[in-house]
């Protein structure tokens, strides 16, 4: 299963609403997770089961979708949110990742 993220990068300002899209090449139900990775650090789980917020993750992050189309939304971008975001499908092996979306400061 291929996952296509868009855009591959974006520039945004603090306080902006940001939406990242992940499209699967075939239906994956809700077996989708989102991760945040900062330079030189390991990824961090943000959302699983497409829309369930991982414990401890700020509520400005939200996820939606099922089947083939998914979105990650950051309602009000904060300075610490500038990072690269990845989606991952866990519907079938191999558990592929999307190509990533780099969120940069405008």
Partner 1 sequence: EVQLVEAGGGLVQPGRSLRLSCTASGITFGDYGTSWVRQAPGKGLEWVGFIRSKTYGGTTEYDASVKGRFSISRDESNSIAYLEMNSLKTEDTAVYYCTRTRGMVRGGVINYNALDVWGQGTTVIVSS
Interface contacts to partner 1, rule CB under 8 A: 31, 33, 35, 37, 42-45, 48-49, 54, 86, 88, 90, 93-100
- Residue 15 CB, nearest approach to partner 1 (Å): 28
> Residue 11: CB partners within 8 Å, gap ≥ 6?
104, 105, 106
Q: Is 87 helix (H, G, I), strand (E, B) or coil?
A: strand
Edge-first strand listing for the sheet containing 101-105? 9-12, 101-105, 84-89, 32-37, 44-48, 52-53
- For partner 1, the closer CB: 15 or 39: 39
- Residue 18 CB, nearest approach to partner 1 (Å): 19
Q: Which residue stretches of 1-106 are H helix? A: none
- Residue 13 CB, nearest approach to partner 1 (Å): 25
- Residue 33 CB, nearest approach to partner 1 (Å): 5
- For partner 1, the closer CB: 26 or 76: 26
- For partner 1, the closer CB: 16 or 91: 91
């Amino acid at each position: 299963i291929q996952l296509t993220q868009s855009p591959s990068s974006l520039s945004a300002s603090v306080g902006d609403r940001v939406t990242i899209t992940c499209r699967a090449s075939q239906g994956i139900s809700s077996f989708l997770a989102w991760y945040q990775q900062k330079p030189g650090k390991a990824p961090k789980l943000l959302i699983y089961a497409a829309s369930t917020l991982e414990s401890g993750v700020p509520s400005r992050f939200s996820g939606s979708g099922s089947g083939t189309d998914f979105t990650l939304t950051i309602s009000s971008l904060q300075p610490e949110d500038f990072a690269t975001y990845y989606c991952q499908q866990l519907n079938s092996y191999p558990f592929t990742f999307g190509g990533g979306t780099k969120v940069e400061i405008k």
